[in-house]
Amino acid sequence: MILHALVDGPATAAWAARNGATVVQLRLKDVSTAERVRAGHEILAGVGELAIVVMNDDVAAAAALGCAVHLGQGDPGVEVARQAGIRFGRSAGSVEEARRAEAEGAWYVGAGAVWTTPSKADTGPAIGLDGLASICRAVRLPVVAIGGVGSANVAACIGAGAAGVAVIRAVAELPRLRELLDAALAARTGGGPG
């Protein structure tokens, strides 16, 4: 859960998995389910056991690939995912949405956008660190911070209670992000660097 890399293709997914991503989420907008499945097969082959693969927005593609799915607030498919036994994450921009995701049986919550970002233009206003902390306190499942996250603020996300972060534009920073996340998590739990 610690480091989600949202990617748009197999080459980036494989690189992300080799460079610290624990979850690789395929985010292909405006393409068919068949295209997502094709790309997903390549990603599964390239990532192997290095990271968990998650399909963005498309339960049918996730079912065909045998992987997890991430569903935004406006995305259909929660009931289908539950009935099919597909693990799913949910987006949440408020405590109420996070609690609803937990009640639905979500595996994790993607909270944000924490900061304004061009990568997540379809979200509401930025929730900031206070909003992130409120969501983290409100649910028992892991919370992953998303939206404007990079090396300058990743430790603040962990300090607010997040279990990890998700990045789109900052994918190139993955090795540094993983180092910073490990240090921040060690500090939060009272442990020192490994």
pLDDT digits (tens, 9 = 90+) for 161-188: 999 999 999 999 999 999 999 999 888 8
Residue 36 lies in a domain: yes
For residue 56, being part of any structural domain is answered with yes
Token couple for 11: 């080459």
For 15-40, what is each residue's pLDDT tens digit?
999 999 999 999 999 999 999 999 99
Report the distance separating Cα 13 and Cα 101, nearest Å. Answer: 26
For residue 174, give its domain range.
3-189
Tokens of 53: 């693969």
SS3 for 39? helix
Task: State the sign of the Cα–Cα–Cα–Cα dihedral 137, 139, 145, 151.
Answer: positive
pLDDT at 194: 42
Residue 30 lies in a domain: yes
Q: What is the CA radius of gyration of the chain?
A: 16
The partner residues of 3 in beta bridges, in order of sequence, read 165
The structural domain count of the chain equals 1
Q: What one-character DSSP code corresponds to residue 89?
A: E
The predicted-structure confidence for 67-118, as pLDDT tens digits, reads as follows: 999 999 989 999 999 999 999 999 999 999 999 999 999 999 999 999 998 7
* The predicted structure's pLDDT at residue 121: 57
Helix (H) or strand (E) holding 104: helix 95-104
- Measured between alpha carbons, how far is 155 from 104 in angstroms, rounded to an integer? 29
**Domain assignment of residue 194, yes or no:** no
CA separation for the pair 120, 72 (Å, rounded): 11
62 has a pLDDT exceeding 90: yes
Mean of pLDDT over the chain: 94
Q: Is residue 89 part of a domain?
A: yes
CATH assignment at residue 79: 3.20.20.70
Asked, for residue 35, whether it belongs to a domain, the answer is yes
